[in-house]
Structures are given as C-alpha cells and as structure tokens.
Structure 1
Amino acid sequence: MINKRIFFAHITVASLLLPWTVNARQPTAGGASANDTIGQHLVAEERASWDLAIKHDAVAYRALHAPDFFTLTGTGVVGKVPSEASAMDPDAHFDHCELAGFGVHFVAQDTALITYHVKANGLDHGKAFQVDNYASSLWMNRHGQWQNVFYQATPAPKS
C-alpha cells in the first residue's frame, strides 16, 4: 500500500482547479509585477505536478523536482525516490480532488513557498479515502530553472 501522506501531496484533477492569488512578500529586482508573473508560473507548475501524478506521467512529474527534493510526513523525512514512487502508485485513484486558496510567499529572491488547501477522495488499493489538508511546497530557482525542493501536508482541523 502506498504512503497516503506522500501520494496525496502530489495529486489533483486539472479540471477542478480554482482561482488563486499571488501574495508577493519580497519584491525581486523586477518589482512586484515580476513576482506576480513568477508566482503565477509556480502555481501552474504546482497544479501540473498533481495532474501529472494522477495521470501517472512519471517522467514529466519527476522533471519538476530538484535532485534533492524531499517530503516531510507524519512518519518523518522521505527522500525523492520513495516520494515519487508513492505518487505513481497505479492502485490509487481519485473520484474528486480540488486545490484552493493558493498563496505565493517569496522568502528570498529565488525562493518561493506555495501554500494551498487540498480536498480529495477516491480509492487506494480498493479502500475509500478522504483528504482535507493544508499543503506547502518550496520552489527554488536554480541556474534559471524553478524546481520543487520540498513538500509538506498538514491535516486540516475537523469541523
């Protein structure tokens, strides 16, 4: 069985994407409009990573991650290879998945923290699941290419 915390961190359906906003915290040399453009690009990349995982497009999915990518779960730090393998599990399927409330927070000129809310349900190895998490991904611009270096999901409080 897959590690659900890793897998759910990387899955969504592109058709269910909701509007989002960019909250530039630290201007780059190009000013706030440059941060808005970069933020829009990074949110699109984050959304694409989920869609690629749902489609089990391992090559394109892995291309978004830095060589030192890792995930933090309730069981500890999970490296790039096991995290990506979990997201590609063919025995997990989503009936519904949505991402909402995107924020982009520039913590340095070439480093942005993407935050959002994930709600999903489906089947994992024949067992029903539901997810309601707040998520964050850290993206860094290395040698002119933005790559995801870190992901963490935190369960939302029960209503």
Structure 2
Amino acid sequence: MSGSTVIAAGATNASSDKASRAGDVGATLINLEKQSWVAWKAHDGAYFSSFLSDDHVDVSARGATDKANVVAGVAGPFCSVESYAVDGFQVTRLSQDAALLVYHAQQKTTCAGVPVPSPAWVSSLYIKRGGRWLNAVFQQTPTK
C-alpha cells in the first residue's frame, strides 16, 4: 500500500522522524480507542458524542448506523458490558489526516439479553478535523 505507514503497538524507530510521528499518532489513537471501551462499559454517551465524527458510521451484524444512534445506545440501558480485553493494535497511517486502527477485542457483553459476538477483529477509522482525531468508522468482525 503506497503512502501508508504501519505501526504495531509499542514499535519504535528512533532513526526515522516519519516513524516517530506515526508512532505518536498510533499511541494517541490507541489511547482514544481504549478510552472508548471504558466509556462503553460505563454508558458514557458524552464521551462518544465528542469522540465520534458527525458523519460517523458504525457497522455491525445488525447493519450500519449513525452517530446519534451510537451515542443513544451507549448511554442507554440496552447493552451491559461485564468485561472486555483489547490487544494486538496495528495502526496504518493513510494520510496526514486519516489512520486505520485494527485490533483484537474480546468482550462479555449482552444487548437486550443477547450476547454480543466475541472475540472479534475491530477496524476503527480515524480522521483529523479541527486539530482533533475523531472516529469516523467502527466495525467489528467476529472471529471463528
């Protein structure tokens, strides 16, 4: 993939300014993503209101939805997160203002009493607008 930089979590390369900048972005995005899981468990809709881009798309087994529905779903009692674990983060810098975060997630979560498929591979696409990184697309793909 021409023009992209892939950084695995914890990877460093002191001899390359480009890798260092990509690593800084990677650490920022991984931190934002981890904070989103804390907010998800805590039903913190306010976090998601500022974390998601206004044109955010969330894709799941039920289809695609928008920011308003995600924020309402997180804040409401519909889902209950008992526990979760996230690891194996990889960041691909697509441009100065776009990066893709891919990682593995496991969760013990139910929505309306139905278990959420777990484990899953997660893709989170971030865009930089107004000097802030925002989550524009989120998708989980259950693993076998």
> Which TM-score band applies after superposition, normalised by the shorter structure?
0.7 to 0.9
- Structure 1, residues 5-41: CA drift from partner, whole Å, max 9, x if none? xxxxxxxxxxxxxxx71679xxxxx511011011101
Q: Any unmatched runs of 5+ in structure 2?
A: 1-7
Measured on the aligned residues, the alpha-carbon RMSD in Å equals 2.2
Aligned-partner Cα distance in 2 for 1:78–1:124: 16
1:119 aligned onto 2:113:
no
How far apart are the structure 1 equivalents of 2:101 and 2:48?
17
Task: Using structure 2 for the length normalisation, give the TM-score.
Answer: 0.81
Query: Deviations for 1:33-84, whole angstroms, at most 9, x for unmatched residues?
Result: 0110111011000110111121112112210111111112234321111122
Quick check: 1:21 aligned with 2:9? yes
Query: Partners in 1 of 2:82 and 2:38 — Cα distance?
Result: 13
Q: Are 1:144 and 2:131 counterparts?
A: yes
Higher strand share: 2
Structure 1 counterpart SS, 2:118: strand
Q: Which structure ranks higher in relative contact order (CA pairs < 8 Å, sequence separation ≥ 6)? A: 1
4+ runs of 1 displaced by more than 3 Å? Answer: 122-130
Asked whether the equivalents of residues 94 and 121 of structure 1 are also in contact (C-alpha less than 8 Å), the reply is: yes
CA contact (8 A) 1:104 1:115 kept: yes
Residue type at the aligned position of 1:109: Q
Which blocks of at least 5 consecutive residues in structure 1 are unaligned? Answer: 1-19, 25-29
Given that residues 100 and 126 in structure 2 are in contact (C-alpha distance below 8 angstroms), is that contact kept between their aligned partners in structure 1?
Answer: yes
Q: CA deviation at 1:126?
A: 4.6
Deviations 1:88-126 (A, max 9, x none): 332432232101111111111211000011111144445
Name the TM-score, length of structure 1 as normaliser: 0.74
| Alignment correspondent of 1:105 | 92
- Of 132, 140, 144, the residue aligned with 1:153 is 140
Tell me the distance in 1 between the aligned counterparts of 2:115 and 2:90. Answer: 30
Q: Which residue of 2 aligns with 1:27?
A: none
